Amino acid sequence: MLKHQRHFFSVVRFLTMLLVLLLPATDAWAKTANWAGEWDSRWRGGGARLVLIQDGDRVSGLYSLYGGRIEAIANGRELRGHWVQDDASGEFIAVQSPDGKSFSARLGKGQWWTGLRALNDRQFLGQYVDQSTPAITVYHFLSTMNALGPGTMELLSEASHLIDWNEAPDLGISQLDATKLLFDVLNRLTFRIWDFQRSDTGDSYSTVVNQAGSPIGLELKLHKKGWDWFIVLPPINELRALLKALDANRDTKETRLADGFSSPRDTIKTLITQLDETDPSSVRHIIKGLNLTGMSDLAKQYEAPRLAAYLRRSLQHLGTPIWQEIPDDPKGASPYIHFEHPVGQIIVAPVDTDQGTVWQFTPDTLKKSVRCTRPLMTCHPRT
């Protein structure tokens, strides 16, 4: 019965969405919406930047990645027209959201098509994106991509502007998907942004960045156009093959058993992004990343949740890390020092357990670095 109810409500939601798309313009929609500008659009199996020009109710546009164009008529928030791409064409009907930031559409054969208005290009979190050096360009690319989450296609679009697409013809996939693929590879490597500092004054730069504890790596190239530096996208097939090799090298039984604590990067990221102090199951999971050696069972029960919370606050005061700068080698044997201060250090080290090797914050880190609720830089160790 429950299964049938769920199916019924799913059908109702689907029909409601179609009704919104198919309803004629009402008085509330009488004013023609503004479609002009750039949109990051997606459809099943693809996506592209769509550039629209509007003259009254007439709207035309191009999505150059696939050599396509559209011609349409706007009526309120509704846009009806046709698309042409190579030797194929078809009709579509789109409806813009009330805030003007997105649209939903269906193509002639019922396929979906969505778009998100690209706002504030060259900006991230309200700040101008500086591309004056290779290091800063890579920094902005990683910072933007690291901030991605569900529904943040606009951030993906902003990161894509740091890639020179004129040097990447015949991709075979959308620019957004290519951007994500490049990041997926870089996210499996470990390197310092400082690696991209340059001492010469040329207009091109490259350096090899590797997977931690592995010879597998990528030569990432950048070049300068005008005053700005752009990432040169490696061939898509090369990126796909490299991604497969990187994953195969990390897919070990020990890594899977560690469950969020398989490397220094894994442990620090799990604590910062997953701790929910109001959820007991979340707290129990995070405590797996704390080395509580020397504490009694009673102390562990009452102190461990507080230590996890204090430690995260200290890390947050240091600012959001560039995750790719933190080693992600599960086979590493040397402790990783994330932060040093006269008060103490924040160190993550490997610990052998019945479930394999787990990377944990050291007892000394818990004892000296986080036993205060103020920022780490101003607190004093308890004696």
Tell me the C-alpha to C-alpha distance, in Å, between residue 271 and each of 86, 260, 286, 306, 325: 50, 9, 6, 13, 17
Please check the confidence at residue 77 and state whether its pLDDT lies above 60: yes
Please check the confidence at residue 18 and state whether its pLDDT lies above 50: no
Average pLDDT, the chain: 80
Q: Evaluate whether residue 378 is within a structural domain.
A: no
Please check the confidence at residue 267 and state whether its pLDDT lies above 70: yes
| pLDDT score recorded for residue 257 | 61
| pLDDT score recorded for residue 68 | 85
The amino acid present at 179, given as its one-letter code, is T
| pLDDT score recorded for residue 39 | 84
Q: Tokens for 192, please give them.
A: 């310092």
CB 50 within 8 A of CB 38: yes
Q: Are residues 187 and 243 in the same domain?
A: yes
Residues 6+ away with beta carbon under 8 Å from 2: none
Q: Evaluate whether residue 377 is within a structural domain.
A: no
CB 363 within 8 A of CB 293: yes
Q: Evaluate whether residue 375 is within a structural domain.
A: no
Q: Are residues 325 and 287 in the same domain?
A: yes
Per-residue pLDDT of 345-357, as tens digits, reads 899 999 988 777 8
Q: Evaluate whether residue 382 is within a structural domain.
A: no
Q: Evaluate whether residue 212 is within a structural domain.
A: yes
Q: Are residues 85 and 131 in the same domain?
A: no
Q: Are residues 229 and 260 in the same domain?
A: no
CATH code at position 67: 2.40.128
| pLDDT score recorded for residue 349 | 95
Which one, of 161, 135, 134, 158, lies nearest residue 146 by Cα? Answer: 158
Please check the confidence at residue 24 and state whether its pLDDT lies above 70: no
Please check the confidence at residue 175 and state whether its pLDDT lies above 50: yes
The residue out of 201, 226, 250 marking a domain boundary is 250
Q: Are residues 81 and 195 in the same domain?
A: no
Q: Are residues 203 and 157 in the same domain?
A: yes
Q: Are residues 69 and 143 in the same domain?
A: no
Please check the confidence at residue 75 and state whether its pLDDT lies above 60: yes
| pLDDT score recorded for residue 167 | 81
Q: Evaluate whether residue 27 is within a structural domain.
A: yes
Q: Are residues 129 and 246 in the same domain?
A: yes
| pLDDT score recorded for residue 153 | 61
Per-residue pLDDT of 144-169, as tens digits, reads 888 765 445 667 777 888 999 888 77
Find the range with the poorest average confidence among 21-25, 77-81, 231-235. Answer: 21-25
Domain containing 41 equals 2-117
Q: Are residues 196 and 165 in the same domain?
A: yes
| pLDDT score recorded for residue 340 | 82
Q: Evaluate whether residue 305 is within a structural domain.
A: yes
Per-residue pLDDT of 305-354, as tens digits, reads 989 998 988 888 777 788 999 999 988 889 999 988 777 789 999 998 87
Q: Are residues 284 and 346 in the same domain?
A: yes
Q: 62-66, 88-92, 247-251: which has the highest mean pLDDT?
A: 88-92
- Give the span between the Cα atoms of 210 and 205, in whole angstroms: 17
In degrees and rounded to multiples of 5, residue 251 shows phi and psi of -80, 80
The residue out of 205, 231, 250 marking a domain boundary is 250
Q: Where are the beta strands (DSSP E) in the chain?
A: 37-43, 46-55, 58-63, 68-75, 78-85, 88-96, 102-107, 112-117, 123-124, 127-128, 204-210, 217-225, 228-232, 336-341, 344-353, 356-361
Q: Are residues 98 and 139 in the same domain?
A: no
Per-residue pLDDT of 202-251, as tens digits, reads 899 999 999 998 999 999 999 999 889 999 999 999 999 999 999 998 87
| pLDDT score recorded for residue 249 | 87
Total domains in the fold of the chain: 3
- Give the span between the Cα atoms of 194 and 216, in whole angstroms: 20
Q: Are residues 239 and 273 in the same domain?
A: no
Q: Tokens for 109, please give them.
A: 């054969």
| pLDDT score recorded for residue 375 | 43
CB atoms within 10 A of CB 306: 13
Q: Evaluate whether residue 283 is within a structural domain.
A: yes
| pLDDT score recorded for residue 13 | 45
What mean pLDDT comes out for the span 65-83? 89
- Give the span between the Cα atoms of 282 and 271, in whole angstroms: 10
User: What number of CA atoms fall less than 13 Å from residue 232's CA on the CB side?
Assistant: 15
The residue out of 67, 101, 117 marking a domain boundary is 117
